[in-house]
C-alpha cells in the first residue's frame, strides 16, 4: 500500500496473491480485520540535526524522498512495520523462548524433540489471534511443527533475507522441533517472529547424527 501526495489519490492498494485467492472465494472470505503500515523507503540517517537553516529543516531530506508505490509481492514489502503500543510503553516488545540454543541428537528409538512456547515482553501482545511465525533455515536437518493459530494472521517471509531452498515456515502459538537422521553434525538457525509486533529472535540449532565419527 502506498500513500501518495496530491488531491486525487491518497491511497493506492493492490491485492497480494493471498488477497486475490480470498477474494475469489467470495466476499465473506475476503474480510479485512487488520492492516499494517511500514516505512521501508525512509532513510532516517538523512535526519540532519546540523542543518544550517535550523530545526524546521532537520527532516527536509526525508520529506523529499519518493514514496514506494504499491506492490503485490508481500515478500518484498513491509520489512519495517510501524507498531502502535499502549500509552506509557517505554520499550519495544521482545520475544523470549527460554533457551539460548537448541542441540538435539537423532535417535530412531528415543524420538527426541524440543518444545518452544514463545512469549513477548508485553503479555498483551501476540495473543491467540496473532501468534508467531517460525522459520527453520534448513528443513533437511529437522522437522518443525506447530499448534495452529486460529484465523489467518500471517507475516511475509522475505526471500532476499534467508536461504529459501530448504527453509521451513510454520505459524502457531508454540513449536516443536525434531531432528532428522542427518549423516553429520548440522548447524542451522530458527527465527521466531511475532505476527503482531514484528519482534524477532534467532536461535542457533545444532543437530547431531546418531553416531558421531
Does residue 38 sit in the same domain as residue 102?
Answer: no
Q: Does some domain include residue 73?
A: no
- pTM reported for the whole predicted model: 0.66
Give the three-class secondary structure for 47: coil
Q: Does some domain include residue 89?
A: no
pLDDT for the residue 189: 92
Tens digits of per-residue pLDDT, 98-118? 999 999 999 988 889 999 999
Domain extent at residue 163: 95-208
| Whole-number Å distance between alpha carbons of 167 and 148 | 19
Does residue 19 sit in the same domain as residue 115?
Answer: no
| Whole-number Å distance between alpha carbons of 14 and 77 | 12
* pLDDT surpassing 60 at residue 97: yes
Q: Which of 63, 84, 110 is the last residue of a domain?
A: 63
Q: Does some domain include residue 81?
A: no
| Whole-number Å distance between alpha carbons of 139 and 168 | 5
Percent pLDDT > 70 in the chain is: 78
Q: Does some domain include residue 170?
A: yes
CATH of the domain at 130: 2.60.40
Does residue 53 sit in the same domain as residue 152?
Answer: no
Least confident of 119-123, 159-163, 193-197: 159-163
End-to-end CA gap in the chain: 54
Count of structural domains, the chain? 2
Among 84-88, 116-120, 164-168, top mean pLDDT goes to 116-120
CA dihedral 89, 90, 95, 100 (to 10 degrees): -160
H or E element in which residue 145 lies? strand 142-146
Does residue 141 sit in the same domain as residue 195?
Answer: yes
Q: Which three cell numbers stand for residue 141?
A: 536437518
Amino acid at each position: 500500500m502506498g500513500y501518495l501526495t496530491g488531491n486525487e489519490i491518497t491511497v493506492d492498494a493492490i491485492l497480494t496473491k493471498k488477497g486475490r485467492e480470498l477474494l475469489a472465494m467470495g466476499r465473506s472470505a475476503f474480510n479485512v480485520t487488520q492492516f499494517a503500515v511500514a516505512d521501508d523507503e525512509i532513510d532516517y540517517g538523512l535526519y540532519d540535526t546540523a542543518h544550517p537553516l535550523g530545526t524546521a529543516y532537520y527532516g527536509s531530506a526525508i520529506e523529499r524522498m519518493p514514496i514506494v508505490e504499491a506492490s503485490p509481492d508481500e515478500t518484498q514489502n513491509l520489512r519495517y512495520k510501524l507498531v502502535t503500543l499502549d500509552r506509557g510503553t517505554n520499550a519495544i516488545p521482545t520475544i523470549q523462548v527460554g533457551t539460548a540454543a537448541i542441540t538435539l541428537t537423532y535417535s530412531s528409538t528415543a524420538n527426541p524433540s524440543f518444545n518452544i512456547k514463545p512469549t513477548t515482553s508485553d503479555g498483551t501482545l501476540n495473543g491467540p489471534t496473532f501468534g508467531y511465525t517460525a522459520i527453520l533455515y534448513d528443513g533437511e536437518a529437522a522437522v518443525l511443527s506447530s499448534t495452529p493459530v486460529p484465523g489467518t494472521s500471517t507475516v511475509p517471509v522475505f526471500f532476499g533475507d534467508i536461504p529459501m531452498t530448504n527453509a521451513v515456515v510454520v505459524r502457531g502459538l508454540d513449536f516443536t522441533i525434531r531432528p532428522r537422521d542427518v549423516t553429520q553434525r548440522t548447524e542451522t538457525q530458527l527465527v521466531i517472529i511475532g505476527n503482531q509486533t514484528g519482534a524477532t529472535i534467532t536461535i542457533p540449532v545444532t543437530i547431531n547424527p546418531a553416531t558421531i565419527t
